Amino acid sequence: MKIGTLMVVFVTCTFWLPNALIAANLSEETENCLGCHEIVTPGIVGDWQNSRHASVSPAEGLAKKDEERRISASRIAENLSGSAVGCAECHTMNAEDHPDSFDHNGYSIHTVVSPSDCAVCHPVEKQEYMHNLMSQAHGNLVRNPVYQMMIENINGPHEVDGTLMRMHAPDEQTNADSCLSCHGTEVRVTGTETRETAMGKMDFLALSNWPNNGVGRVNPDGSTGACSSCHMRHQFSIETARKPYTCAQCHKGPDVPAYKVYSVSVHGNIQKSMDKNWNYDAVPWIVGKDFTAPTCATCHASLIHDDNGQTLAKRTHRMNDRLPWRIFGLPYAHPHPIAADTTQIVNQGGLNLPTELSGEPVAKFLIDEQEMARRLQAMKTVCRGCHSGQWVDGHFARLDKSIQTTNHMTLQATKILSQAWEAGVAEGLPQAKNPFDEGIEMKWIEQWLFFGNSTRFASAMGGADYGVFANGRWAQQKNLQDMLDDLKTLPSGKH
Amino acid sequence: MKIGTLMVVFVTCTFWLPNALIAANLSEETENCLGCHEIVTPGIVGDWQNSRHASVSPAEGLAKKDEERRISASRIAENLSGSAVGCAECHTMNAEDHPDSFDHNGYSIHTVVSPSDCAVCHPVEKQEYMHNLMSQAHGNLVRNPVYQMMIENINGPHEVDGTLMRMHAPDEQTNADSCLSCHGTEVRVTGTETRETAMGKMDFLALSNWPNNGVGRVNPDGSTGACSSCHMRHQFSIETARKPYTCAQCHKGPDVPAYKVYSVSVHGNIQKSMDKNWNYDAVPWIVGKDFTAPTCATCHASLIHDDNGQTLAKRTHRMNDRLPWRIFGLPYAHPHPIAADTTQIVNQGGLNLPTELSGEPVAKFLIDEQEMARRLQAMKTVCRGCHSGQWVDGHFARLDKSIQTTNHMTLQATKILSQAWEAGVAEGLPQAKNPFDEGIEMKWIEQWLFFGNSTRFASAMGGADYGVFANGRWAQQKNLQDMLDDLKTLPSGKH
Amino acid sequence: MKIGTLMVVFVTCTFWLPNALIAANLSEETENCLGCHEIVTPGIVGDWQNSRHASVSPAEGLAKKDEERRISASRIAENLSGSAVGCAECHTMNAEDHPDSFDHNGYSIHTVVSPSDCAVCHPVEKQEYMHNLMSQAHGNLVRNPVYQMMIENINGPHEVDGTLMRMHAPDEQTNADSCLSCHGTEVRVTGTETRETAMGKMDFLALSNWPNNGVGRVNPDGSTGACSSCHMRHQFSIETARKPYTCAQCHKGPDVPAYKVYSVSVHGNIQKSMDKNWNYDAVPWIVGKDFTAPTCATCHASLIHDDNGQTLAKRTHRMNDRLPWRIFGLPYAHPHPIAADTTQIVNQGGLNLPTELSGEPVAKFLIDEQEMARRLQAMKTVCRGCHSGQWVDGHFARLDKSIQTTNHMTLQATKILSQAWEAGVAEGLPQAKNPFDEGIEMKWIEQWLFFGNSTRFASAMGGADYGVFANGRWAQQKNLQDMLDDLKTLPSGKH
């Protein structure tokens, strides 16, 4: 056995070693935190000890070559740069901006670390994320009167009264536990409270709508978003964020079955079958070397290189940078909104929707054809890392067709709904009633929210199941027939 | 390269080595078994060779420190303690108690190894498991007249006769293949049979309802349960039992979507993304070191320590030890039953259900508030390994709310069902007919069994999808509308 | 630390090393390809570099012992045998047979590598696959007039006109994006095109219905199938093909939930929990040593040995070699068709279906009882690698019962459909109208395509969830009730 062989073994095995073996210096403050929290919350301390934050100081991070840097700040304050990014570094950061700061054993700490705190080292990522729809996911949902009616119907505790249904407004807990779990809650300081702890009675600030890790969380410091939605506490690893299971937390349901589609695609198969040989931690992330099939992050977020140092895709935290179409129909698929804050969008019918009920996009709030072409080109460049131009063009031609046909099927459902409203078998817009709360109306919603979306995601990512029998074209057609049958059988005037 | 480095490599790599390399002595009897079975059933022999049973003798297991012991017996008979736990040790154990013992090449062996056999080394686990609802899953289902009517409707081969449906009783095979696959069959000796084998003609005992690995299997020796439901044959590994895929075998369907919910939770994401770095085999299981997010076993079964030797949770095989509420509604969520055998429970309406049809719990069969508080506290202690008290309290406040609102939505469905029975559009309790076998009745069942349960599991484990669009609050509300539409359109008196 | 220990470490770790380290010689042609494609499509080059094709020459493959050979040709032409199987070897193979050959930098290359190309080294596999239903999946679907009506209903862009629905024929793009994604498209040369590439303007042949990797793809060279459906480009690994995620690409939807069923079975659990210790690459594949629970490939395709060199199952690429029943109902489960091309099958009613609408199999096109018994025996031999004869017989008795009861439930749905057609609440066969395009007709389809299939797959593979509440017997019974309710409420004569 030669030494050369042993070297290979060593290199191959090291990524199994906890990074903690090569820990950076700890600040005195963080050491103080750890003194208690190793006992009080051992799980997160252990998790953090396995993190890059625990093992590489900002100064070391800054010293890396440009393309290998994970820090986008050009400089870091001296008091922060030399030691590990530990408890104190984040939970005392920007204390003056935090209404949720409180005295904790002599330190002014805050519970809710926000994107503004992370931005001290990662300002470009924060900036990009602020232009990402996800950062506005809370307001875009709860400040849109149309969606608000949907939430009421879903979350409200309804009351059956004979053959009538009386709606009640949903409570804050239920909203936080359902829609806002992904969209993000509004976290506010609501007072103080004394709690019994392992270290005796201690005072804390009470927070509303807590806990929450939603992508559009409104933080006490006024910032929006939570980096920990995707970079899970307290390891904050790029590896986790690059794995599709992270995206699946919010993008797996029938409304947005992205992960399900991915899991039956060739890409998803290769990932599940072969990723034991991949390196999810490399920056830049090299196609054909570090990975051999894309995950969500490959196409939508990560810095992708080839092995010759050529850039296939820039890192971005505005996830729609390479997305011309928003295939998530509202109710029709449409060009992506220009602004991340979509609450200003209003259609000709006065509804806060990016398309008319007839399907026409509300153009002035949406990106134009030139921008769509630019984004499509950026996406195709990623695909071209493995596929020929012909292959890629053929793929996207099908997606275009799928957008067209699913929008058509949504229009047909809308025609039935209009008839139902006219005939009085349901009450909606013409009657100035909630258009989302009766049986046939909920079927209309599923036509685009479940079946239109599923079909388009299947086209976009090559997961045909979800475009056919699994909530795809089959379901669109069957649902249309159900709506027609309702139109034929439901009595009018009984609401 | 220094020797120190090599040591690290060695330590890191050893868990890839099959344990079989360090095999314990084999008894003569087991060697005899292996002589043929290496050829006849090589798969299970190979599997067993990778097991701890094959490599650690009971005596070695007993010699471990208390908290590291996997054997709960205080002593093991001398004839068993020195050699590996092999074929003969289990399949000839307690032969006199086994009506299924038969002569097999001179040994009195039995096919169905039961919890009573395992209890020779693991008596505490068996004892706990007997107080676990799962151990009674067979009788709790088939000896409950209410559930019996549900089974008939699901498994019976029905007959359409014009617009009428005639029900027939289901056969034993179908029951074994469906409900009892998880709940457990009743395995009885039904006679003897001669079979052609690789070793020539041999005699065996014939068993009814075999094969089966259900959690509440009724064994020929009179014991109930099957340790191999979760500790799969013939490796019986703690690692498998701690992985969520084991629980998913029975807890993934729309009635109890625990694994599905887990898989979109932050916990499930971290598990799938990072568990390549975990040690699933350690006893005790140390939070932050051996694992960094809980699996099912962490919260419900395993002995959890922190790295300082502090116990966060005791090992238990009574899985509801930390569960105040039974969120699996029957038809409403309710405090956990006191006894594992629930066949004695009867409500004021005379139905064998733990709640009234109006939702009120049948208190005298259920744990009281004090016990609920004790269990909640035990669960919170596990959560506190990683989360602050505020976080944990906030989480469980939402679960309480979710229990309340989903029970409310079940009540609304019950109101519609009552009207349907009164109006004669369906026939059920008032008509002394099966209340589960018509369309609107089956929608009522889905209201709590699918949608109520899904929503509550989502709240309990942070998998919001399943509380909203994936069989959650959306489905509860849509189903209610469907039931109302049925009430409006179905003719009366046609059954 | 002894050298012996180090050897063990080395052996354990080597399978983490990319095979590329031990590359075979490259042909000059392939080196030329790589010169550009390392830059143009770095992902697939990297993937291929990790492949066996890149590291083992055909001559080395041929030199292996019979049972270890992955090449079934008895000899390989000298010009091919000495170098790696690279770009040029496959993409210039059999150029004269390829209408899709075109000049590319002086080489006559074709885009669509076909089974006939792979057959140069793997002729037996190609031959077997041609007798596999999958190889005919394109024609069996699109050349069957009955299925054609289903496709029209699913993929056609329908038009609502009052309470009527007007059907339109689906377009080629939509068919390619849905059904034919798995079944395979027909790829034809449609002309030439000049494309802008990283190397400047270049000429290519334009292909219809491209891209596609469906199992029954009709290739420009006239062959059918795509080896890359399961042996994904460009690693073509046996490991990927043996993992269940590959089969899940097409066998996960509600029509054929094979992977879903597997994932809740004991087998699937063990695979997910323990396969980190398995060797998916070994030929032959040794039960109990290389793997301890079956994947799809174990039972349906792979060469399985025990550790004594005994053969449990021969390698086959005719996937139904061990399948007596086709549990995928059309509309009833039936004995497997004799010929892979099923377009000739016609029942007494003149429909191109393998069963009558009453359930009787169309015997003359289907395998007889003797062949069924032979196949069942072959399957049982695989099961017997781990299970006793009693266990295996008990298992298959349940499957028989499940086939019988689900077929019965399909028959009941058919009775309701007949009544609906008679009563004029729907228009189908008696009216010479599409029998698949109205609400009650689509429910009839789901009765067998979703719920019958799901229940039978659950019985076949031990995934009870899918035989009960997850699209199983529960859904069959509920759907029957829904159809009855439709029969009672739908008006007649409105189509």
CA gap C333, A337 in Å, rounded: 50
Q: Taking each helix axis from N to C terminus, what angle separates B453-461 and B473-489, rounded to the nearest 10 degrees?
A: 170
**For residue C19, pLDDT beyond 50:** no
CA gap A1, C10 in Å, rounded: 9
pLDDT value of position A304 = 98
Give the chains touching A; criterion: ≥3 Cβ pairs < 8 Å: B, C
Query: Could you read off the pLDDT of A449-484 as tens digits, one per residue?
Result: 999 999 999 999 999 899 999 999 999 999 999 999
Q: Does A83 touch chain C (CB under 8 A)?
A: no
pLDDT value of position B11 = 34
- Give the CB-side neighbour count of residue A231, counting CA atoms within 13 A: 20
Query: Could you read off the pLDDT of C238-274 as tens digits, one per residue?
Result: 999 999 999 999 999 999 999 999 999 999 999 999 9
Its pTM surpasses 0.90: yes
**For residue B418, pLDDT beyond 90:** yes
Query: Could you read off the pLDDT of C278-287 as tens digits, one per residue?
Result: 999 999 999 9
pLDDT value of position B24 = 77
pLDDT value of position C14 = 34
Please report, rounded to a whole number, the percentage of residues in chain C having pLDDT higher than 90: 94
pLDDT value of position A11 = 34
Query: Could you read off the pLDDT of C35-64 as tens digits, one per residue?
Result: 999 999 999 999 999 999 999 999 999 999
Q: What's the average model confidence in pLDDT over C362-375?
A: 98
What residues contact residue A289 under an 8 Å CB cut-off, 6+ apart?
A279, A307, C46
pLDDT value of position C495 = 80
Q: What's the average model confidence in pLDDT over C383-410?
A: 98
**How far is the alpha carbon of B389 from chain C, nearest alpha carbon, in Å?**
33
Question: Is the CB of A459 less than 8 angstroms away from the CB of C248?
Answer: no
**For residue A39, pLDDT beyond 50:** yes
CA gap B29, B31 in Å, rounded: 5
Q: Does B482 touch chain A (CB under 8 A)?
A: yes
- Give the CB-side neighbour count of residue B86, counting CA atoms within 13 A: 25
Question: Is the CB of A386 less than 8 angstroms away from the CB of C41?
Answer: yes
HEC string for C422-456: HHCCCCCHHHCCCCCCCHHHHHHHHHHHHHHHHHH
Q: Does A480 touch chain C (CB under 8 A)?
A: yes
Q: Taking each helix axis from N to C terminus, what angle separates A473-489 and C145-155, rounded to the nearest 10 degrees?
A: 80
What residues contact residue B183 under an 8 Å CB cut-off, 6+ apart?
B137, B138, B140, B141, B142, B214, B215, B216
Indicate the SS3 state at residue C321.
Answer: coil
CA gap C309, B16 in Å, rounded: 25
CA gap B417, B430 in Å, rounded: 11
Query: Could you read off the pLDDT of B267-299 as tens digits, one per residue?
Result: 999 999 999 999 999 999 999 999 999 999 999
Q: Does residue A249 contact residue A243 with C-beta atoms inside 8 Å?
A: no
* Average predicted confidence (pLDDT) for chain B: 94
Q: Which two tokens stand for residue B349?
A: 């309406």
Q: Where are the domains of chain C?
A: 14-92, 114-229, 233-489
For the beta carbon of residue A484, count every other beta carbon within 10 angstroms: 24
Within 8 A of B245 by CB-CB distance, chain A residues are none
Query: Could you read off the pLDDT of B152-199 as tens digits, one per residue?
Result: 999 999 999 999 999 999 999 999 999 999 999 999 999 999 999 888
What homologous superfamily is domain A324-489 in, according to CATH? Hydroxylamine Oxidoreductase; Chain A, domain 2 (1.20.850.10)
Q: Would you place residue A20 in the very low, low, confident or very high pLDDT band (cuts 50, 70, 90)?
A: very low
CA gap A207, A220 in Å, rounded: 9
Task: Spell C277-289 as b/e; 16+ CB within 10 A means b.
Answer: bbebebbbbbbbb
pLDDT value of position B477 = 97
Return the CATH class of domain B327-495: mainly alpha
pLDDT value of position A13 = 36
Give the chains touching B; criterion: ≥3 Cβ pairs < 8 Å: A, C
**For residue C441, pLDDT beyond 80:** yes
Whether ipTM tops 0.85, in short, is yes
Q: Would you place residue A12 in the very low, low, confident or very high pLDDT band (cuts 50, 70, 90)?
A: very low
Using CB atoms, which residue from B398, B466, B478 is nearest to A442?
B478
What backbone torsions phi and psi does residue A10 show, to the nearest 5 degrees? -60, -50
| Contacting B residues, span 225-264, partner chain A, CB-CB under 8 Å | 263-264
More confident position, B140 or C13:
B140
**How far is the alpha carbon of A334 from chain C, nearest alpha carbon, in Å?**
19
Q: Does C276 touch chain B (CB under 8 A)?
A: yes
Using CB atoms, which residue from C43, C204, C246 is nearest to A269?
C246
What homologous superfamily is domain C233-489 in, according to CATH? Hydroxylamine Oxidoreductase; Chain A, domain 2 (1.20.850.10)
Question: Is the CB of B245 less than 8 angstroms away from the CB of C273?
Answer: yes
Suggest the residue from B243, B249, B482 to mutate for an interface test with chain C (most C CBs closer than 10 A): B249
Suggest the residue from B2, B386, B409 to mutate for an interface test with chain A (most A CBs closer than 10 A): B386
Q: Would you place residue C494 in the very low, low, confident or very high pLDDT band (cuts 50, 70, 90)?
A: confident
* Average predicted confidence (pLDDT) for chain A: 94
CA gap B368, C442 in Å, rounded: 50
CA gap B163, B490 in Å, rounded: 13
Q: Does residue B365 contact residue B340 with C-beta atoms inside 8 Å?
A: no
Q: Would you place residue B400 in the very low, low, confident or very high pLDDT band (cuts 50, 70, 90)?
A: very high
What backbone torsions phi and psi does residue A402 show, to the nearest 5 degrees? -65, -40
Q: What's the average model confidence in pLDDT over A304-309?
A: 96
pLDDT value of position A23 = 62
Q: Would you place residue A494 in the very low, low, confident or very high pLDDT band (cuts 50, 70, 90)?
A: confident
Question: Is the CB of B266 less than 8 angstroms away from the CB of A486?
Answer: no
Q: What's the average model confidence in pLDDT over A301-314?
A: 97
pLDDT value of position A22 = 45
pLDDT value of position C443 = 98
Question: Is the CB of C415 less than 8 angstroms away from the CB of B250?
Answer: no
Q: Would you place residue C23 in the very low, low, confident or very high pLDDT band (cuts 50, 70, 90)?
A: low
**For residue C10, pLDDT beyond 90:** no
CA gap B124, B122 in Å, rounded: 6
Q: Would you place residue A198 in the very low, low, confident or very high pLDDT band (cuts 50, 70, 90)?
A: confident
**For residue C475, pLDDT beyond 90:** yes
Q: What's the average model confidence in pLDDT over C172-183?
A: 98
In terms of CA atoms, which chain B residue is nearest residue A439?
A: B481
**For residue B494, pLDDT beyond 90:** no
pLDDT value of position C12 = 36
Question: Is the CB of A473 less than 8 angstroms away from the CB of C44?
Answer: no
DSSP state of B354: S
